[in-house]
A and B are shown apart, each in its own frame.
Chain A
Amino acid sequence: MEFGWSEEEERFRQDLRAFLDEELPPNWEEIAAGGPGSDEQVRFCRSFCPRLAERGWLTQHWPREWGGLDASPWRHAILGEEMWARGEPRGPQYMNVNWIGPAIMRFGTEEQKAELLPPIARGEALWCQGFSEPEAGSDLAALRTAAVREGEVYRVNGSKIWTSYANHAERCFLLVRTDPASRRQRGISVLLMPMDLAGIEVREIPSVVGDRYFHEVFLNDVEVPVSCRLGPEDEGWAVVTYALQYERVGAARYARAARILDRLAEEARRRGRLDDPRLLERLGEARAACEAARLLTYRVIDMRAHGAPPSADSQLARVAGTLAERRVADLALELFGPESLAYGSPGAQHFRAAMTAGVAVGATEIQLNLIASRILGLPRE
């Protein structure tokens, strides 16, 4: 047990920071304000990710065979921290490298790997995640979007909702029901669906969390080639479970929260308020929550580095992260006072970045259910 970084890891972090200082344009803050799915940020990520890939950093934790460097999960975690702390210049591409690529490596055919992995590794691919449906949110296994096999295609009908980045993505990691008679986890398959097929309609859902944030994806008689199926037919749940293990702690949201907190403290100093013990207390309270989330995330990365099987420990990290984000969000509004009410103000932006924490990537209550049953061993309700 030791909690230090190796020299090589420290150097990597410094190199990354220097790289970001050089690559991020002077108006980066404005670009980042829209969130990873905004038009501006997506445009930026299309030029940024290839440069990250040139250095070998984008998919460094992947095997060499697929454009990686076999780097340790810790190096990838450092990358994630530095990216999220700077507003995630990878845009939606963080998903590709964290979990979509690894799922394709694990379950894909040779053709799928050869076609889909290189663009991800080069930083050229944009994906979206088609899981949630109007009637299937926390209860994902209730999904109904139907895919009926007709020769060499699946005819897909149904709709997906809350799909981030659907307006930009070229592909969708889509969950469908291939066995209409099946219920729950059985009979689900994964399709790696090109988004330019006939019959796909993407509609924006206006929201208070940001422009072009949420989408509904309508699928009307979309013909998806059978060759797009990832893993065996009707057995997609195993693929999803595998992918979600990587998704859950993939985004270093605690690093963004910690960075925002530093900004808040900076702002408090500018206003001559850093000698106010009440404010210092609030800042300390929020920082402790960020640090707890960081260590619980590290614990999951450590288990991965040791090759331990995935466990419910990732849920501890997620819940801690949500607690941290909420504290930082509340403080952001309070610190800037009524000025936070102005659209686009720093308080409003920080708040917006954090307000979805308890729902996006799975509701907190579901995570608590898993902790209660898998870690505490409490009986089912």
Chain B
Amino acid sequence: MDFQPNGDQQAIQEAVEALLARHAGAERAIALAAKGETDGELEAALAEAGYRDLALGPETGPLEAALVVEAVSRAAGLVSAGASLLVAPMLLGEAAPGPVALAAGDEPVPLRFGAHAPTLLVARGDEAFRVDLTPADREPVPSNFGYPMGRVRADVRAKGRSLGAGSGPRLRAWWRVALALEAAGSMRAALALTVDYVQRRRQFGRPIGSFQAVQHRLAECEVLVSGAHWLALEAAFHGADPERSALAAAHALEAAGRVFHDTHQFTGAMGFTLEHDLHVHTMRLQALRLELGGLGSHRVAASRARWVGTA
């Protein structure tokens, strides 16, 4: 048990932060989102730096990939980090090029990166399917929930290749870890922006962050966000075992609901504007909360894994 990064992990963290400082950030995310695009440049930079191979590396594994996924999300990188760097490699045994979209079942709902992804992974019962997509198979869906959204035609989905018995639960488990990591990253960024805001914004002759009512709710958010961070990393370390991955998602996405409302509350009207970066992180949280059946399904999955014996 050791919560401190070792030398290699620290090097990875520093390198990815440096890369993200150049190729990510709220400003880029806002500009790209306005055009409904993903960040091809960041995607290429991550690939070139070898982060797509981190999850399956000889000296690295899912924990190292998880650290990168969380960092990308914290920096508002507009790439399918969780699906590309963690879920796809763990499911396919190899890296998948370009954005990766994830779907649960066959309803043609809007998917994150669904209009851009050449690869779609579908969880259907006990099996997962890999579907290779062409531009004709996808259609963009306008959205202001922080990610480019798109629908994939139902008939195309049916053409996927099965990844074998048991791959369905595995896809759901890794997906849950990815959701938890991405939520943890977005929450960390939203909370940091808000803590900064309440220190600078003055009303009644004092910083609003000096009111205890404000402090306590932000302190509670800090408890939840820290918990989400460690639960997600632990689940990645343990290979997304069904219980841990569902608990990580359940805790992170519950926290996400809380963090969304509190950070918007304390940034007042300013927090809703495109002038302020908060929305870049918070709107994504709501998108994450709706994936894979939502909060309730993660909780039920955790209970089933622990007490019923099925995920």
| A contacts, CB < 8 Å to B | 1-5, 9, 74, 262, 265-266, 268-269, 274-275, 277, 280-285, 287-289, 291-293, 295-296, 298-299, 302-303, 305-306, 316, 319-320, 323, 365, 367-369, 371-373, 375-381
A373 CA / B207 CA spacing, docked (Å): 13
CA distance A372 to B213 in the complex (A): 11
User: Which residues from chain A contact B247 at a C-beta distance below 8 Å?
Assistant: 284, 287-288, 291
Question: Closest approach, in angstroms, between the C-beta of B63 and any C-beta of chain A?
Answer: 7
Restricting to B266-311, which residues have a CB under 8 Å from any CB of A? Answer: 296, 298-304, 306-308
Contact partner of A1 among B3, B212, B228, B298, CB < 8 A? B3
Which residue from B6, B198, B250 sits with its C-beta under 8 Å from A284? B250
Chain B nearest CB: distance from A376 CB in Å?
5
Kindly list chain B residues whose C-beta atoms are within 8 Å of the C-beta of A372: 212, 215-216, 218-219
Q: How far is the CA of A377 from the CA of B230 in the complex (A)?
A: 22
B234 touches A295 (CB 8 A): yes
Chain B residues with Cβ below 8 Å from A292 are 224, 227-228, 230-231, 251
Contact, CB under 8 Å: A376 / B223: no
A67 to B68, CA, bound (A): 45
Given contacts A320-B223, A369-B215, contact A296 B3 (CB under 8 A): no
Among residues of B, the one whose C-beta sits closest to the C-beta of A321 is B223
Instruction: With CB as the reference atom, state the residue of chain A lying closest to B244.
Output: A291
Q: Find out whether the CB atom of B9 lies under 8 angstroms from the CB atom of A1.
A: yes
User: How near does chain B come to A3, taking the closest CB pair, in angstroms?
Assistant: 4
CB of B255 to closest CB in A, whole Å: 9
Which residues of chain A are near B262, meaning CB under 8 Å? none
In whole angstroms, what is the CA distance A348 to B55 when docked? 47
Knowing A265-B306, A377-B195 are in contact, say whether A4-B227 is a contact too (CB < 8 A): no
| Cβ of B164 to closest chain A Cβ, rounded Å | 27
With an 8 A cutoff between CB atoms, is B203 at the interface? Answer: no
Q: In the assembled complex, which residues on chain A have CB atoms less than 8 Å from the CB atom of B223?
A: 296, 316, 319-320, 323, 371
Nearest Cβ on chain B to A275's Cβ, whole angstroms: 8
Secondary structure dominating the interface of B: helix
Residues of A within 8 A of B9 (CB): 1
Residues of chain A lying within 8 A (CB to CB) of residue B254: 285, 288
Q: Is the CB of B198 within 8 A of A288?
A: no
Contact between A368 and B215, CB atoms less than 8 A apart: yes
Residues of chain A with a CB closer than 8 A to B300's CB? 277, 280-281, 284
In the assembled complex, 7 residue pairs joining A and B whose CB atoms fall closer than 8 Å, in A order, are A1-B9, A284-B247, A284-B302, A288-B251, A299-B3, A299-B230, A381-B211
Set of chain B residues within 8 Å of A288, measured between Cβ atoms = 231, 247, 250-251, 254, 299, 302
Within 8 A of A (CB), among B234-254: 234, 237-238, 244, 246-247, 250-251, 254
Inter-chain CA distance A296–B227, complex, in Å, is 6
Do A3 and B234 touch (CB < 8 A)?
yes
Q: Is the CB of B4 within 8 A of A295?
A: no
Alpha-carbon distance between A323 and B219 when the two chains are bound, in angstroms = 13
B126 within 8 A of A: no
Chain B interface size band reads 35 or more
CA–CA, A108 to B55, complex, Å? 51
B104 to chain A, nearest CB (A): 17
CA distance A266 to B307 in the complex (A): 8
Most buried by A among B219, B300, B302: B219
The residue from B4, B5, B214, B227 contacting A320, defined by CB atoms under 8 A apart: B227
Interchain residue pairs A-B with the least CB separation, the first 10: A284-B299, A292-B227, A372-B215, A371-B219, A295-B230, A302-B3, A280-B303, A284-B302, A288-B251, A368-B219
Q: How far is the CA of A300 from the CA of B272 in the complex (A)?
A: 36
| A1 and B215 within 8 A (CB) | no
B145 CB → nearest A CB, Å: 24
Chain A residues lying within 8 Å of B198, measured Cβ to Cβ, are 378
Q: Which residues of B contact A368 (CB under 8 A)?
A: 215-216, 219-220
Q: Is the CB of B222 within 8 A of A287?
A: no
Residues of B within 8 A of A376 (CB): 195, 215, 218-219, 222
Residue of A nearest to B302 (CB): A284
B209 at the interface (CB under 8 A from A): yes
- Answer yes or no: B265 CB below 8 A from chain A CBs: no
Q: Which of B44-67 contact A (CB under 8 A)?
A: 63, 67
Tell me if B215 and A302 are in contact (CB < 8 A): no
A265 to B298, CA, bound (A): 17
Contact assessment for B226 and A296 in the assembled complex, using a CB-CB cutoff below 8 Å: yes
Q: How far is the CB of A81 from chain B (nearest CB, A)?
A: 12
- Interface residues in B125-164 by Cβ distance below 8 A to A read none
User: B210 to chain A: which residues have CB within 8 Å?
Assistant: 378-381
**How far is the CB of A105 from the nearest CB of chain B, in Å?**
25
Which residues of chain B come closer than 8 Å to A295, judged between CB atoms?
A: 227, 230-231, 234
Q: State whether A285 touches B299 (Cβ < 8 A).
A: yes
Question: Chain A's nearest CB lies how many Å from the CB of B23?
Answer: 25
The interface bits of chain B over 70-112 (1 if a CB of A lies within 8 angstroms of the residue's CB, else 0) are 0000000000000000000000000000000000000000000
Residue of A whose beta carbon sits closest to that of B246: A284
Contacts of A9 in B (CB 8 A): 1
Does B5 lie within 8 Å of A1, measured CB to CB?
yes
In the bound complex, what is the Cα–Cα distance between A275 and B309 (angstroms)? 12
Q: A293-B227, A378-B214 are in contact. List 13 more A-B contacts (CB 8 A).
A: A1-B5, A1-B233, A265-B303, A266-B307, A281-B303, A285-B299, A291-B231, A292-B224, A295-B227, A296-B230, A319-B220, A323-B223, A369-B212
Q: How far is the CA of A371 from the CA of B191 in the complex (A)?
A: 14
